[in-house]
Structure 1
């Protein structure tokens, strides 16, 4: 019986240790999930900021070319032509 009692005690100790490891891993998992959520939020925010900055950069390029900058003249001409086509299309739609 003594051997059986020692075996049960040993199993109880192992079970307790496993349970503690499980609790520790669950806490770590929760922490990592929170970090993932935070990282996703930061990534989304930064993506939005990048899109805004790119839009502002395009606007600045257009303004610079309208002010006489030679660097982006071709892009500005293409954009103006695109806007003219859109206006012509709208006028055609209104005429029908």
Structure 2
């Protein structure tokens, strides 16, 4: 009978230890999920900043070509010609 009590006592000790470890892991999981959410929000903010800076860069690049920069002058001319063609198409459609 003493042997059976020792086995039950050992089992109870192991179960208590496992439950303690489970509580620790659950808390760690909660912390990691919160950290993940924070990092995701930070990533979204950084992506918004990148998009904004890319738009500003494109605007500055176009402005420089209009002012006289030779780097993208050809691209700007093509863009203007495309816009003019689109306007002409709209005028034709309005005329019909």
TM-score, normalization by structure 2: 0.89
Match of residue 42 from structure 2: 42
The reply on whether 1:7 has 2:16 as its aligned counterpart is: no
C-alpha distance in structure 1 between counterparts of 2:78 and 2:26, whole Å: 57
Moved more, 31-40 or 58-67: 31-40
Q: After TM superposition, list the pairs within 5 Å mapping 1:1-96 onto structure 2.
A: 1-96=1-96
Structure 1: any 5+ residue segments left out of the alignment? none
C-alpha distance in structure 2 between counterparts of 1:15 and 1:35, whole Å: 30
Match of 2:69, SS state, is coil
C-alpha distance in structure 1 between counterparts of 2:89 and 2:43, whole Å: 39
Query: What is the aligned length?
Result: 96
Structure 2: any 5+ residue segments left out of the alignment? none
How far 1:89 sits from its partner (Å)? 2.5
Match of 2:71, SS state, is coil
